[in-house]
Amino acid sequence: MQVYGSPLSPFVRKVYLVAAEKGVAVEPAPFTPGQPSPGFLEASPFRKIPAIRDGDFTLADSTAIAAYLDAKHPEPPLYPAEPRQRGKAVWFEEVADTLIGPAGASIVFNRFVAPKVLGRPGDEEAAAKGEAALPPLLDWLETQAPAQGWLVDGCFSIADIAMATMLRTLLYVGWGPDPAKRPATAAWYERVAARPAWREVAAIEDQQAARFAPA
Ligand SMILES: N[C@@H](CCC(=O)N[C@@H](CS)C(=O)NCC(=O)O)C(=O)O
């Protein structure tokens, strides 16, 4: 399966993680930010990453792709079958993607992507707004992080992947899980980050991130 976009993006990373958990081989699709190829536009008409090309099938959006992969490769299941667990897992994914993601994105874009990747100054006011939005969300997550195991009734699921990918992105701007401030979240995050699939994807990402490290 080909994936458009770098796993430095939390949404692309989500797709890489789902694929890795399921043992689905991923290769990067040819993709240059700002220069959309016809192949990319076919897969992602609204120009967002991630998108995939799987044989003659294309699809955009991390949530749609995760659902597709879970249906195509049912083992291990990442969307629980039990109704309440399924509902909760999708809800965690939604909170990660639509609340924590955007708050983090305004920090990450303006303090990391703009200065380090695009070589231009970020919008500090927008970054500060993101910083103001994050603490209540992270405090809530601290109440949800279990002492052991995973977010939804002890079953590893899309909830853990979707939340943890957002937290990994926050690490780039000093907002990663802090054991002193939110110990349950930090311990749960470490459990996610110890999984073989996570380590596999982190190794790919670390190689790409090295390009932006200070010389
Ligand atoms: N809901 C989408 C969000 C994807 C998204 O926002 N991707 C960002 C990168 S992290 C993007 O493509 N931004 C470029 C743009 O909006 O043009 C998903 O889950 O895939």
DSSP 68-81: HHHHHS-SS-SS-S
- Residue nearest to ligand 1 atom 19, measured at CA: 62
**pLDDT value for 182:** 98
- pLDDT of 150 reads 98
102: tokens are: 């955007």
What is the 8-class DSSP label of residue 152? Answer: B
What per-residue confidence (pLDDT) applies to 215?
Answer: 55
- Closest residue by Cα to atom 13, ligand 1, is 48
Cβ of 85 less than 6 Å from ligand 1: no
Q: Is 33 in the pocket of ligand 1 (CB under 6 A)?
A: no
The β-bridge partners of 28 are 3
Q: Which residues, including other chains, have CB under 8 Å from residue 178's CB and lie 6 or more apart?
A: 186
Statement to judge: residues 87 and 191 lie in one domain:
yes
List pLDDT tens digits, range 113-167: 999 888 999 999 999 999 999 999 999 999 999 999 999 998 999 999 999 999 9
Query: What are the strands, taking DSSP E only, across the chain?
Result: 2-4, 27-28, 51-54, 57-60
Average pLDDT, 10 consecutive residues per value, the chain (215 residues): 97 98 97 93 97 98 98 98 98 98 96 91 96 97 97 96 98 94 98 98 94 70
| Number of independent structural domains in the chain | 2
- Count of alpha carbons within 13 Å of 127, Cβ hemisphere only? 17
Per-residue confidence (pLDDT) for residue 116, from 0 to 100: 87
Instruction: Say what the pTM is.
Output: 0.96
Query: Which atom of ligand 1 lies at the shortest distance from residue 61's CA?
Result: 20
Residue whose Cα lies nearest atom 1 of ligand 1: it is 61
- Taking CA atoms, 34 is separated from 8, 49, 66, 107, 136, in Å, by 16, 12, 25, 21, 34
Sequence-distant (6+) residues with CB within 8 A of 29 are 2, 3, 4, 39, 40, 43, 51, 52, 53
* 123 and 180 housed in the same domain: yes
Instruction: Determine, yes or no, domain membership for 12.
Output: yes
Q: Which atom of ligand 1 is nearest to the CA of 49?
A: 12
Q: What is the pLDDT of residue 118?
A: 87
pLDDT of residue 54: 98
**160: CATH:** 1.20.1050.10
The pLDDT value recorded for residue 134 is 97
Owner of token pair 């200070």: 214
Residues 50 and 13: their CA atoms lie apart, in Å, by 9
Please report whether residue 135 resides in a domain: yes
pLDDT computed for residue 214 by the predictor:
61
Distance 108 CA to ligand 1 centre (A): 13
Same domain membership, residue 138 and residue 41: no
78 within a domain of the structure (yes/no): no
**Conformation bin of residue 47: beta by default, left when phi > 0, alpha when psi is -120 to 50:** left
Residue that terminates a domain, selected from 28, 51, 72: 72
Single out the residue of 114, 113, 110 nearest to residue 126, CA to CA: 110
CB of 157 shorter than 6 A to ligand 1: no
Residue 27: which domain range?
2-72
| 88 & 171 share domain | yes
Shared domain check, 183 and 94? yes
Q: Is 97 in the pocket of ligand 1 (CB under 6 A)?
A: yes
Q: How far, in Å, is the centroid of ligand 1 from the Cα of 57?
A: 20
